[in-house]
Amino acid sequence: MDKTNLDNKKKTAESKENQKAEETTNLQEEQVNASAENATSDNVADKKAEEAATEEKDSLQKKYDELNDSHLRLRAEFDNYRKRTLREKSELIKNGGESALTHLLPVIDDFERALQNIRTAEDMKAVSEGVELIYSKFISYLSQQNVKPIETVGCPFDAETSEAVAMIPAPEPEMKGKVLDCVQTGYTLNGKVIRHAKVVVGE
């Protein structure tokens, strides 16, 4: 009876050991499977991240290429514009006076006719009138070009528009500091002084 109990106890112990061994094996297999699944999911995640990074890189490269191309085009267009502007400016400087000179030619024609008449004229009054007409025509042309004489005589001396070449005692007290005579007329173009008047000032 004792032997039977002992055998039963042995069998029970062996059965428990076998069960423990089986559980341990199952646990190890589950861990291995879990590790494999984790490794597989990690590989998938890595691939997805790599693909996303590649797509982003391609997208950024495309944008860079587009911006670079746009920049190069704008630079070329600006360079062409700059060259064209310089060429036009050069032509304007070179030929800008053409219109002014063309309109002066009739005045020169009048002077030539006057000179021919002076040599043979007997009536000096008619010659004087002709010269005055030419002068009036010339002054009218200057006025059309916004060139105007500076009024100085009787006005207070203004260093912005006039240059004092002499100072003489004023004939009257109220003429002190005023222009008594204009030696050379000054002119303005569109309000800007292009030649200062040379004047005599009372002191």
Residue 100 has what pLDDT?
Answer: 77
Residue 26 has what pLDDT?
Answer: 67
pLDDT tens per residue across all 203 residues of the chain: 455 656 566 666 666 676 776 777 767 767 666 665 665 666 777 788 888 888 899 899 999 999 999 999 999 999 999 999 998 888 877 776 777 788 888 888 988 888 888 888 788 888 888 889 999 998 888 888 889 999 999 899 998 999 999 999 988 888 888 999 999 999 999 989 999 999 999 88
Residue 172 has what pLDDT?
Answer: 87
Residue 163 has what pLDDT?
Answer: 92
List the domain boundaries for the chain.
98-145, 147-203
Q: Please tell us whether the domain made up of 147-203 is placed in CATH 2.30.22.10.
A: yes
Q: DSSP characters for the chain? A: -HHHHHHHHHHHHHHHHHHHHHHHHHHHHHHHHHHHHHHHHHHHHHHHHHHHHHHHHHHHHHHHHHHHHHHHHHHHHHHHHHHHHHHHHHHHHHHTTHHHHHHHHHHHHHHHHHHHHHHH-S-HHHHHHHHHHHHHHHHHHHHHTTEEEPP-TTSBP-TTTEEEEEEE--SSGGGTTBEEEEEE--EEETTEEEEPEEEEEE-
